[in-house]
Amino acid sequence: MHLVDYHVHTSLCNHAEGGMEAYVRRAVELGLAEIAFLDHLTLRESDHANSMSEMEVGLYHAAIMRLKRKYAGRIIVLAGLEVDHDPENRARAIGLLERFSFDIITASVHFSDDYNFVSRRAARKGMEVPDEAWADSYFDSLGQMLDEPFFDVVGHVDVFKKFGRKPTPAHLDRFRDLFRRMAGLGLVMELNTSGFDHQACEPYPGRAVLEMAAQEGVAVTLGSDAHAPHEVGRHFGAAVRLLAETGHKNLVLFRGRKKRLAPLPACLEEAW
C-alpha cells in the first residue's frame, strides 16, 4: 500500500500546532509511505498573518531536508508550499520558488478581493451574501489563478462551501470548464479531507465534483490539511473509497515537481 499525505502544515503559519517532527512521526505510525509539508505562503500584506514570512522559507526548507535525511528508509518526506492566489505578488512567489528545491507546489484560493472564504469571522459577516455571489467570486479567482499557472496542484477546489454553502447546478458547469482547463494544463486536483471536519461535512471536493474531474481526465492527489499532528491522514479510508467510487484509479506522486501515477490503494486497515 502506497498511501501519501501531501498537505500538512507547521507552526510557522501561525495557526498550526506541534513540531514538524511530530507530523512525520504520526505519518510513520499510520504507515504512510510519504508526507509532504505544504505550509502557507501568503504575500499579500493584508492577509499574511496566517503564513510564514519570506525570510522563513529558507528555515522551513532546511528543516524539511533534515527530516528527510533523518527518516530516510522509514518514510519519504517532501518539501512543498501552499501558495495563495495573489496576482499582484505572483512574481515574488515565483522568485522564492526558484531559490529552493521543492517537490510539490499547490496553489489555493482562500480569499478574493471581496470575501475571505475560510475565516469563520468573515463567513459570519458574509452570511447576507447570496450563495451564488459567494461562489461566483471564488470561481472568478480560480479562473484567474489558472491564467498563469506556476504550480502543480489546485488545492481544496470547492472550499467556498466550508461553512455550509452548497454549489448550485450552474456552478457544476463552472467546475466542468475549470477541469477542462486543468486537464489541458496538466494540473492535478487535491482531494482535501479536512472538509469532513468542517460544516461542509464532506471533503473538498465532494462526490459530484470528483466524478466530473474523473470524466474530464483530471488526476488527483490526497491531503489531510493537517494543522496538528493528530490530523495527519484523517479520514483517508473514506477518501480512498470515495475516489474509487467516483472513477479515479490512481493517486499522483511528486518528486522535484515531476509527477507519476500510483495505483489507488485497494484496501485500507480498519483503523483508517
Q: What is the pLDDT of residues 62-88, one digit of tens each?
A: 999 999 999 999 999 999 999 998 888
Half-sphere exposure of 178 (CA within 13 A, CB side): 25
Which SS3 state, helix, strand or coil, does residue 103 take? Answer: coil
Is domain 4-263 annotated with CATH 3.20.20.140?
A: yes
Whether the Cβ atoms of residue 10 and residue 37 lie closer than 8 Å to each other: yes
Residue 46 has pLDDT above 90, yes or no: no
Domain locations in the chain? 4-263
The confidence score (pLDDT) of residue 47 equals 53
CB 255 within 8 Å of CB 209: no
Q: How many CB atoms lie within 10 A of CB 197?
A: 14
- pLDDT tens for 198-234 read 888 899 999 999 999 999 999 999 999 999 999 999 9
Express each pLDDT in 238-251 by its tens digit: 999 999 999 999 99
Tell me how far CA of residue 101 lies from CA of 26, 65, 92, 98, 202, in angstroms: 25, 10, 16, 7, 33
**What is the rounded distance in angstroms from the CA atom of residue 105 to the CA atom of residue 217?**
20
Question: Which residues lie below 8 Å from residue 45, measured CB to CB, with a gap of 6+?
Answer: none
> Between these two residues, 270 and 25, which has the higher pLDDT value?
25
Buried b / exposed e over 80-89, threshold 16 CB at 10 Å, is: bbbbbbbeeb
Containing 144, the helix (H) or strand (E) segment is helix 131-147
- pLDDT given at position 16: 80
Q: How confident is the model at residue 270 (pLDDT cuts 50, 70, 90)?
A: very low
Window from 39-48, 57-66, 135-144, 254-263 with minimum mean pLDDT: 39-48
Q: Residue 247 has which C-alpha cell?
A: 472513477
Nearest to 185 by CA among 159, 214, 216: 216
Q: Exposed e or buried b for every residue in 106-116, given b needs 16+ CB within 10 A? A: bbbbbbbeebe
Give 3-state DSSP helix, strand, coil % of the chain, rounded to 5.
Answer: 45, 20, 35
